[in-house]
Each structure stands twice: as C-alpha cells, then as structure tokens.
Structure 1
Amino acid sequence: MSIHIVADSGCDLPYSFLQERHIYLLPLIVHLSGRDYEDAVTIDPKQVYEAMRNGEVAKTSQTSPQKIKEVFSELAKDGRPALYIAFSSELSGTYQTAMMMRKEVLEQYPDFQLTIIDSKCASLGLGLVVMKASELAQKGMPYEQLCETIAAYCSRMEHIFTVDNLEFLARGGRISKASAVVGGLLNIKPLLHVENGKLIPLEKIRGRKKVLKRMLELMEERGNDLQKQLIGISHGDDEETALELKRQIEAKFGCTRFYISQIGAAIGSHSGPGTLALFFLNEYIEA
C-alpha cells in the first residue's frame, strides 16, 4: 500500500482487523480499577462492561502527544504519504493534539505528506470510513483523491444509537441522576444521533422493540441506495440485539453487506453495556 492509513481507537474496529490491514493505531486511554489501559490493545471491552455492571466507573483520556508524535515520526521516516482519520473533535481532544504534533514532525521532516481529517464521526461510523480508506488505498487511489473521497464519506455518515440503561450516562454526567431513575422506571430508551460531530438527543422511546422500529424508520428517511452499502452495527456486549437489528434491516431494505462489531472500551466507558448503534451513508458514494 503506497499510502499509510492512521486511525485512533475511537473507530471501534478490532485490533486484529487493524493489524491485518496494516492500519496504524493511536489508542485512547481507559482508566479502570486504578490502572491505565490502551483501548483496543491492552483491554477487552467485555472487561469494561462487566466492571460497569458491578458499579465501577471507567474514565477515558485522549492519546498522549508523545504517542502521536512517535507514530507520525515513524511514518515520516518511511517516506510515504499518510492519512489520519480522527475521532470527532467534538468528542475528544485527540484531533487538536494531532494537529500540533503534525506541525512539530513537519519541522523535522518538511517533505512528509500528512493529511489529518476531523471525521466528525464516532465508533463504527468512523470505523466504516477507515475501512473505506484502507480499501481505496489498497486499490491504488491517488493521494489527493483519496483524501477528498474520505472527507466526503465522513460528511455523509449517519449515526443512530440508543443506550439500554440511562444510569451509565448519569454516572458520566451526561444526564441527571433523577432523569436516570425516572427513565428506568418508565423503561425509556433515549435515541440519539451525531450532528456536526456532537451527540444530540433525538427522542425518548418506551421499550426496546419500539426503539428498533424507530431506528429503521430513520434509516429509511435518511438513507440512500442502502442495498449498495456496507451497513455498520455496533453494540455494547449485546450481540443478540445487534443481530436482530441486522435481520430487520435485511427484511425491510434487502441489504446484504454488514459489519458488526462490539463497541470498544473507550466509547463503551461512556455509553455502557446494552448500547446499540447503526451506521450508514445518507448519500451513497461510488468509489
């Protein structure tokens, strides 16, 4: 591959997949039980979910500047151009830090071609973009065209997700504890999406079945050429519900290409077990 692809662990792609595709990883940091872990590398998401179910609180931080500079310097020495597709700048400071480290590395290696895209995406929404970048780079797409195409993919990626238990959002300060208690009693499942890189609440729905039905309705309203697309589904240790959503999408839209993955330890630390997320393009791009 003549172009290096770089991603951070906010893409929620398995480490084995990234290694297989020769994608460079910048891991976010997960703080749990008094220890620091590298997301996707030294901690399994199930470990985080089990700890959260037992009342522990997991915290996260961005990739260290030193790690980012180390990876960029390694790529610069190799001499090939690189593209880093970053986790939304509205959800992490990694993009801003990467831009600073890029400036430092270019002072030492002024001929190094390094483009950094603020994806405004998260979880497997970002993961699908990273997968497409790797695919196009493998096919030999020219560097400038690759960067433009991937930026277009990012801008068209839809994120629709729900959390199973409002308590986890309350622990992280996303909602009040009172709202979590009332929501739990009423079996309320919030539906959210990503808009300009930010998490935005859409609706509050009672019951899991109604949530799945509404996710499909939003997919129909927002999607374009869904049968041609690779549909992403990620989950917080709830593969059964993810597969049920897949079956419903197959039946309703005739989609045949899916990528299903578990939400990683860093993002899962905030969303909690039972989270379910759906990703697709609102405008299909032939590339």
Structure 2
Amino acid sequence: MSRHVAIVTDSTAYLPRPTMERHGITAVPLTVVLGDRALEEGTEISARSLALALQKRHSVTTSRPSPEVFAAAYRAAAEGGADAVVSLHLSSEFSGTYDAARLAAKDAPVPVRVVDTGMVVAMALGFCALAAAEAAEAGGGLDEAVSAAEKRAAGTSAYFYVDTLDYLRRGGRIGAAQALLGSALAVKPILELDGGRIEMLEKVRTASKAIARLEEIVAERAGAAPVDIAVHHLAAQERADRLAERLRERVPGLVDLHVSEVGAVIGAHTGPGLLGAVISLR
C-alpha cells in the first residue's frame, strides 16, 4: 500500500523487523566504531559482540549517520510514493543524528519534518515512530503524524539501572562529578530520561535493591492508565524477564509489553548489566 506520509527513524529505536515492515518504517543505522572498524548497528555488529568487547575493555565509540545516508532514505521514500516524510530521532542532547537529518531534509525531493523526540532509550523512540505510522495509516497528513509522535513522546518516560556509570562518563553522557560520586560511594544508580538528558534519579546501595526500586518506580509511574511498557537490557536477560513478569502483575492498565536487548549504540554508552523500562501512555 502506498503511504502519503513515510516514517523514517534511526536504528536506536530498536523496533522489531516485522513491526517495521508491517508499518513501512525505515530505520537509518548509526555506527559503532570498534577499534579501527566502523560497523553499522543492526547489520554488522550485534549487542552480544558489543557486550563482549566492552567486557574486554576494547575501545568503543559511536557515530551518527551522515547526511548523505538520510538523503538516500528520503529519496527512497519519495520514489516509493510518499509525498512527505516524518523523520523521528533520538535526543539531540545525546547524538548528532538529528542535525544530520535536518541537513539532509533541506534538499529532499518532498517535504521532510525532522523531530527531536528527546528520547535515548530504545522503545522510547520506537513508540513515537509507531504513533506517527499509525496516524499516517489512518489517513493523517504530515501535521497529524508529527502531532501523534509528539503526543506520544510527551507521555513517555524511561528509567534504567546500570552496573557502573563508567561507560556513560567515558562517552560524556553523564557528568563526571555524578559518575565519580557514584563510584566513591559504591552505589548502584537509577537513572532517568529528563529533557533529553540522562540524569541521576536515585542512588541505591546494592544491585538487588536498585532493581527492586526500579520496579517500584515503573509501577508508580504507570499507575492505572492504559500504557505500553518496554523492558530493555544488555547481557542481562534473566533480570529483564523477572522485571517483565513482575510488571505484568503490578500494572493494571498494561496493554503491550515488549522485552528486548538494546543494540550496540545504546549498549556502548551503558555497558553490560543495563536494565531499563520505558513507560508510554496510550
């Protein structure tokens, strides 16, 4: 089916491939630089390979897509019959991806609306892309698709636990003072997404208490409203499964629950042991 409004996002949305195909969503890949090799997320490096590299303390950095890659995605959308594109991306506070998309949009063959969702945690972005796609499928135009994504973003929050703040500190994604404080006190941090930035929410003494507290925070934030929840992890499948099971019991308004491992780009900045949850109001 030809869509008048095409949806483009980036690989950090971590949408399942069948979901992307069903809704016609295109994901432009970010790059993970492992040593002297530049690898596309999703096709050339897996989350497990990334976790192993981090555990061995190999040098790992990430890189935004080039404007040329975005330009190719916009041309493909136009050639596929779209007369407009909504391009939804992770927070500009976290990555230059949004800026690259804006540069490409200037010369696109159809109107492109580039949206900084303010999200940095996987399905926090994925839920926004799905909302835009569903609005377009319902016959909405460019403004309606953008509005649907922005409304979803406004009702989405993300909380996560990491074993150490070292990876976020190395990538400049959390203040050095906060990272040093966490290390000095030997605490386990619970972080939140606030205004497109990663901020310290609470400091807990042990991993088990931190994960229990994460569950409490997510259940409280979800309340009784209709919500979708995504539980994410890196090399911590058992933790993720346990958290998901508990949330199924505790969240009365739960509509959809997704459990998945994050990809290499987000994993590079959080490290193995990540456990997070995204709560998105319907």
TM-score (ref. length: structure 2): 0.88
1:161 corresponds to which letter in structure 2?
F
What CA deviation, in whole Å up to 9, does each residue of 1:200-238 have, x standing for no partner? 111111122222232233234433544x22211111121
Determine the C-alpha separation between the residues in 2 that align with 1:117 and 1:90: 13
In structure 1, what is the equivalent of residue 233 of structure 2? 235
Alignment CA distance shift 1:270-1:259 (3 Å): same
Name the structure 1 match of 2:126.
127
| Displacement after TM superposition at 1:14 (Å) | 4.0
1:260: which partner in 2?
A: 259
Aligned residues: 274
2:8 corresponds in structure 1 to: 6
* RMSD, matched Cα: 2.2
Q: CA deviation at 1:180?
A: 6.4
Find 2:248's aligned residue among 247, 250, 254: 250
Looking at structure 2, the residues matched to 240 and 135 of structure 1 have their Cα atoms a distance apart, in angstroms, of: 32
Indicate the SS of the match to 1:30. Answer: strand
In the alignment, what sits opposite 1:202?
201
Q: Return 5+ residue gaps in structure 2 as ranges.
A: none
Aligned to 1:95: 98
Q: Distance in 1 between matches of 2:168 and 2:113?
A: 34
- For residues 65-87 of structure 1, the C-alpha deviation after alignment (integer angstroms, 9 at most, x for no partner) is 11111111222334412211111
Contact 1:250/1:256 (8 A) holds in 2: no
Alignment partner, residue 67 of structure 1: 69
TM normalised by structure 1 equals 0.86
| 3-state secondary structure, aligned to 2:193 | strand
| Percent of matched pairs sharing the same residue | 27
**Larger mean Cα displacement after TM superposition, 134-143 or 199-208:** 134-143
1:117 maps to 2:119: no
Unmatched segments (≥5 aa) in structure 1: none
Change in Cα spacing, 1:171 to 1:89, as seen in structure 2 (3 Å) is closer
Contact 2:32 2:62 survives alignment (8 Å): yes
Structure-2 separation of matches of 1:142 and 1:178? 48
Deviation at 1:32, TM superposition (A): 0.5
Give the C-alpha shift of residue 127 in structure 1.
1.5
Question: Equivalent residue for 2:161?
Answer: 162
Distance 1:169 1:87, change over 3 A: closer
